[in-house]
């Protein structure tokens, strides 16, 4: 109770203090702290009325509306270990009718924990989740606290796409009998879509949409409905990938990075049948959170990708063919950017783990 009261005080103070600014290539942007005092925040989900949900990795879900903060009851039981815990939150497109939200978390399993997807309804006052049901969980968890992936994207057809890391067990990213190192696709009730690429193939998990991923922690749809992900490499080799069904993205057979020991990874940087990244960083920026912007408030940014950096404390803006990093939006507010989303009004919101704060960015007048 004390911690929640402290957060409330911080949120009121931030509002009184007024907005700060960040310099971008399109001029100065206004940056407003929407809530402060968060404990390892991971994700935000913005509701149609501009109230919002924030996950904290230790298992807390907070509902923030008009300066009031409520700890939401009824969240799933999580294994808060290492990188695991309560992770992503995504608001359903039909929220105004269904009041449903999607959550990913590290679910307790006999051998440790695995990435899981749950769906629940948010009460009218935002204080409680009801009808919580886990509709998917990775089959091959383990006791490692690493590489849960865990972004959720609602595809244009209503299916749900979830990223899953290799859990620190590199070879499993090439083993399609395991969900590790994959993007999975399920229907909203957890059933497997009939047009998934590996349905009916013996020894392959039918939920797999793509595989050969290391730890994808950013994901978003472009205007055509195609999925893009940003994923952590090892020492170098962080990637942005355009996801196609059934494709192999190479980890750990190919990579532009090296092992932390300095040794070469796998067989080099390319191999027939394995997809090349649309863009990669070397040195690594530790990417987490990916947004493809609509252009609503900044028309010049329409279709651009925004990716948060946990390591170098900035927001990368990428554009063009071939994809290129054209800008680094950086300031005290961008300390360890974990998530970045677009709100219904076109503003850009991001989570700073280093600041324990959710920020909202808009053009300056």
* Cα distance between residue 121 and residue 147, in whole Å: 28
Q: What number of other Cβ atoms are within 10 A of residue 209's Cβ?
A: 24
Paired tokens of 161: 């796409």
User: What residues are labeled active site?
Assistant: 147
CA 256, chain centre distance (Å): 22
Please report the DSSP string for 270-282 in residue order.
--TTBPPPSEEES
> What pLDDT, on a 0 to 100 scale, did the predictor assign at position 125?
97
The answer to whether residues 120 and 91 touch, using CB atoms and an 8 Å cutoff, is no
The answer to whether residues 3 and 10 touch, using CB atoms and an 8 Å cutoff, is no
- Give the pairing of strands 208-211 and 182-186: antiparallel
> What pLDDT, on a 0 to 100 scale, did the predictor assign at position 18?
61
> Which stretches of the chain are DSSP H helices?
2-17, 95-98
CA-wise closest residue to 281 among 247, 309, 243, 322: 309
CA-wise closest residue to 247 among 187, 299, 176, 156: 176
| CB-based contacts of 115, cutoff 8 Å, min separation 6 | 87, 104, 105, 106, 107, 137, 138, 141, 148, 149, 150, 162, 164, 165, 179
Q: Angle at the Cα of 318 (from 314 to 320), degrees rounded to 5?
A: 165
* Cα distance between residue 186 and residue 161, in whole Å: 7
* Cα distance between residue 216 and residue 204, in whole Å: 20
| pLDDT of 13 strictly over 60 | no
Q: What is the pLDDT of residues 183-223, one digit of tens each?
A: 999 999 999 999 999 999 999 999 999 999 999 999 999 99
Q: What is the pLDDT of residues 258-287, one digit of tens each?
A: 988 888 899 999 999 999 999 999 999 999
| pLDDT of 9 strictly over 60 | no
* Number of residues that this document lists for the chain: 365
Task: Return the half-sphere exposure (C-beta side, CA atoms, 13 A cut-off) of residue 101.
Answer: 31
Q: What is the pLDDT of residues 134-193, one digit of tens each?
A: 999 999 778 888 999 999 999 999 999 999 999 999 999 999 999 999 999 999 999 999
Distances (CA, A) of 153 to 144, 177, 297: 25, 23, 22
pTM score above 0.75: yes
């Amino acid at each position: 109770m004390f911690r929640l009261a402290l957060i409330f005080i911080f949120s009121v103070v931030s509002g009184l203090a007024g907005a700060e600014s960040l310099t971008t290539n399109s001029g100065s942007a206004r940056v407003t702290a929407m809530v402060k005092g968060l404990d390892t925040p991971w994700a935000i989900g913005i509701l149609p009325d501009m109230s919002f949900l924030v996950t904290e990795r230790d298992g807390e879900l907070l509902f923030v509306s008009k300066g009031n903060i409520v700890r939401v009851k009824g969240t799933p039981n999580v294994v808060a270990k290492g990188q695991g815990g309560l992770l992503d939150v995504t608001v359903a497109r039909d929220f105004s009718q269904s009041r449903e939200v999607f959550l990913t978390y590290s679910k307790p399993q006999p051998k440790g924990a695995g990435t899981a997807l749950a769906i629940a309804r948010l009460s009218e006052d935002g204080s409680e989740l009801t009808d919580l049901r886990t509709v998917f969980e990775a089959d091959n968890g383990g006791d490692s606290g690493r590489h849960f992936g865990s972004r959720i994207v609602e595809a244009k057809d209503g299916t749900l796409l979830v990223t899953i890391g290799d859990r620190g067990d590199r070879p499993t990213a090439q083993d399609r009998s395991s969900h590790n190192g994959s993007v999975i696709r399920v229907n909203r009730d957890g059933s497997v879509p009939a047009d998934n690429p590996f349905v009916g193939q013996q020894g392959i998990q039918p939920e797999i949409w793509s595989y050969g991923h290391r730890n994808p922690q950013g994901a978003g749809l472009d205007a055509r409905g195609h999925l893009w992900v940003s994923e952590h490499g090892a020492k170098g080799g962080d990637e942005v990938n355009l996801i196609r069904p059934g494709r192999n993205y190479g980890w750990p057979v190919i990579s532009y990075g090296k092992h932390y020991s300095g040794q070469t990874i796998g067989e080099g940087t390319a191999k027939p049948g394995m997809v090349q990244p649309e863009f990669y960083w070397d040195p690594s920026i530790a990417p987490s959170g990916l947004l493809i912007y609509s252009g609503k408030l900044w028309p010049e940014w329409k279709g651009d990708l925004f990716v948060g950096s946990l390591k170098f404390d900035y927001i990368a803006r990428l554009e063009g063919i071939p994809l290129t990093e054209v800008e680094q939006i950086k300031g005290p507010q961008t300390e360890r950017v974990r998530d970045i989303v677009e709100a219904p009004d076109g503003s850009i919101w991001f989570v700073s783990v280093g600041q324990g704060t959710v920020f909202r960015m808009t053009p300056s007048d």
